[in-house]
Each structure stands twice: as C-alpha cells, then as structure tokens.
Structure 1
C-alpha cells in the first residue's frame, strides 16, 4: 500500500489532537487546516468532510487496535496480564486515537461508538480465551479500563492516589484468573 501524503498525515494528526485537547466542537475544518498548516483546499483535497476525517481517524484506531490485539494474543504472560499491564495511557498514537474516538462518541458519533464497542468486545474475547469464567474475565477487563481512565486524567494515579501499583494489580489478575495460589487465609 502506498504511503499517504504528508499533508494527509498532518491533517489527521491535527484533527486527532484537536479532538483530544479541545473536543469535537472545536475540531472544525478550519481549525484542522490551520493546526496542520495546510490550506482549506488542501484539507478538502484529502478529506471532503468532517465525517471523512472522523472515518479516517477511526480506521487508524482500528488498525492500531488490531496490532495491539496481535501483541496481546502472543504475549507470553497471557492476554489478561497484557491487557492490564498496557492499560496505562502512555501517550502513544493508539492512546491519542482512542481518546479522540471517545470524544467523538461522547458527541454522539455513532461510528465512533461502534468502533469502541468493537474494540472492547475483541479485547474481552481474548481475555475470555484465557480466563473462562465470564465474571472474572469481565472484572479483568474493567480493571484495565479503570486503570486507563484514571491514567488518562491529570494527576498521580495509581500509586499516589490509590497506593496501588500496576504490579500489585497484576497480582490480583493472577489470583482472579487462578494463575497464582490465593495468599489469603
């Protein structure tokens, strides 16, 4: 597949970054073009509408999520530990695309909501292959989702706020999934 033009990449990054930093209402076509340093005509050459920008953003998120699921499925520690261990927002492109998609979903963008639901279902399916108890698999999923949520906020989560490290959460994953003997009497 040929590499997309730099202007297209810059426009998509500008749209993503505006969604993350200022929200869906601020991510106008004019604001995207200005932030990318591209003329409005250049923007319209690559993206005919704001919906086209959103669809390109969601396609990039789907691609990043597919690569993440491949890594998750192949992780030697298993999908459950991988999911929780990597559920800290570390500022990757996938993190930025994910947060941008959440902003779109919050604004009522149905395709964004569908992509987010699709991603969650695929991650949960991988966890369920390893952790057959549906309630435990869901608890692991929600642990990772909560970790991601709090790490996406400004502040000092997890250690300073809750007094819990990711390593300690992984030990809980092991206990819940039966990978480690329960240490409680």
Structure 2
C-alpha cells in the first residue's frame, strides 16, 4: 500500500488504545481506509474517468434531446402556419370592413337601375296603350297621312349648318283591323 498505510500500522501497533480496540472494528476500519485511499488514487491519477462519465451521459441523453428538438421545430412550423393563417384572415376581415363603401355604392347603383327599369317599363306600357287607343280611332285620313309620311321618310332633311339635327321619334301607326263583337272576348 501507500505511505498512509504505514502510519496506520504504526498507530495500530502502538499500545495507546488497546483496551478500546476490537478485532472486528479494526478489520472494518482497515477496509474503509483502503477503499478511501484507492478512490483517492483513482481520482488523482485518472482524469479521463470524468470524461468517460460525461460521454456516457451525453450518449444517453443526446437522442432524447435531438428528438425533442425535432418535435419543437415541427410545432414551431405549425404555429407559424397558424399565425400566418390568422393574420391573413384578420386582414381579409379588415378589407371587408373597408369595402363596405363599395357594397353601398353597388346597392345604390342597383336601386337606380331598378328605378330606371321601372320607368322604361312604364313608358313602354304607356306607348303600347297609346298605340291601342290610336288604332281603335284611326280614320281614313289618318291612313293617308301615314302613307304620306312613310313616302317622305326617304327624303333627307335640310337644316341650316349651325343648327344641330335632332332625331325625330316616329312610331309607325297601325291601321285599324276589322272590329267584331267577338274581338274583345278573345
């Protein structure tokens, strides 16, 4: 053994504590001191043991760390995708709120178009009714005027150069058909 053991041997052989010593106690004390000195020798002379323990720890824990890292990266990608989707959705909602002016304009234009359509339909119905009334009361002289106006339709209108030409709204007149008693029933 080492130098520490010789000191122990000298102290054990000395008669200082003979009455308190027991053989079993002496054996256990010697065993403990041997182990302590051996451990001190290993620690002092083998620093690579610490590196071995570190390597062993890294080898055991590294695969779990790598797996956890991959899981965190996957979760991060999912969170980024969800964040992008929510930002896109909020921007779409904001743009819809901004477009309410356009929808209001469309609604106003549709109201105007419906009103114009009603006016056109009303004028068309009124003209149809006037045609029916005029055809019922048309006389022979009206038929002659109609034939005269149709013959003059092919002649060009002569107007002064500076005056604008306005189109003439000429509706063809319908000659009355034979009236019978059953005509109103059909």
Q: Under TM normalisation by the shorter chain, which class is it?
A: under 0.3
Task: Give the TM-score normalised by the residue count of structure 1.
Answer: 0.22
TM-score (norm 2): 0.22
Q: Which has the larger radius of gyration?
A: 2
